[in-house]
Structure 1
Amino acid sequence: MAVEVSHEGPVLTIALDRPDQLNACTRELHVELAAAVKQARSPEVRAVILTGNGRGFCVGQDLGEVRADGGGGNDVRLRTLYNPTIRALRALEKPVIAAVNGVCAGAGLSLAAACDIRVASEHAKFVPAFANIGLIPDAGASYHLVHVLGYAKAFEWMTSGRHLGAEEARALGLVSEVLVPDALLEHAGERAQALAAMTGAAVGLTKRLMQQALHTTLDEQLELEAQLQGYAGSTPEYAAALDAFLDRSAAKRGG
């Protein structure tokens, strides 16, 4: 097995599990990762953590497999293995937290960038890698990093090949928090559980709404807000939360 999947209540943790190879991506890993992301679509799952076992988060493509394939086929590999998984991660209407435990390089960086929230161990290292071997950012990196960092910062970093430590990644805005290694997964789990406990479909709908905001006009976004708010306001979860809020307010006034 190249991917380990575990549940804790409504939180699904997906751990890449080729620790001796720093979780480099092979066909086997891609197949199992795609199955895990499909499993995350279950209504019982309300938040997802993506991490790596061992010293690495993911160092991207296993280059030994590329050499065995004759050194080419990057476009086919992207279209058939990487891109479907990136699309599936973004299509999940639930939060995905990348818990970056170690080196995060190449397409591993692309995976982390496709997540909604990124937290990192003090030992994490972020490595663009692409330009260093004559390649371009792929698996969504050119898209997500521009939106996370802004064009100028993303371009400068991607073309420099410069390694970022965890604190520099936080300063740049790539990760939101840096933790001691032993606390990383526990903290990611606490954040995931808190998001999973939010009322109804609010978090998933907010993810959909904010993704659409990347390429819509203001008028289109205002209409989408109205549509999704109409749906959210019609759910039993909203009605229960509203009643509870009003009851608490009445109790405070009465006191």
Structure 2
Amino acid sequence: MPKSANLTTIGFDADDTLWQNEQFYRLTERRFAELLADHAEPDRLSERLLAAEKRNLGSYGFGIKGFTLSMVETAIEVTNGRVPARVIEQILAAGREMLDHPVETLPHVTDTLERLAATHRIVLITKGDLFDQERKLAQSGLGDFFDAVEIVSDKKRNTYQRIFSAVGDGPERAMMVGNSLKSDIVPAIAAGSWGVHVPHELTWVLEHVEPPAEDPRFRVIDTLRDLPGIVAEIG
């Protein structure tokens, strides 16, 4: 396929860039708050759960399974170890429901991937649980657009350097597209790539950082429908 003179490889985040994700965490957290309503106020429970998630990232990584275990841990903490077995059972059931939820692709995803795959290498770069991300990709029907799929434990500068050097022409001739400034944009730009932020209405609080607004390789678009124009501009 023909290649752009400057930009040859485009990486895409998955969760909340290609398909819905965070909304299911929010719904489950509300359900969790209802289960523990007799033991903690919703705001306080949310704080305790977030603290547990932060503590557990190094052990469980990102994804639904770690979130579910953090809910169990929080339930034990706020009840001083007296959480009823039925509550633990319902927390585990909520986690399984998240893992079984149908994939809902976001607007303009298919058309944009189809258009850009004709001119550029397209790479999926996502973090989280291997089985869950593979499931979502398979259910999405988007797999054929990607020249490579990378499911990683975290996204840092060296992650993008490694991937774009292995499957592209180096980070300087690559672009990363995603909804998370912290995971998708800032480290990709630090690696030498372009970063295109596609904000989602819901973003996990641990993914919040200030945008690199002054960096010449930073762009923001409203939806993926606007991405081909950015790609054409960069050339």
Say which structure, 1 or 2, has more relative contact order (CA 8 Å, 6+ apart): 2
Q: Does TM, scored on the shorter chain, surpass 0.5?
A: no
Q: TM-score, normalised by structure 1?
A: 0.27
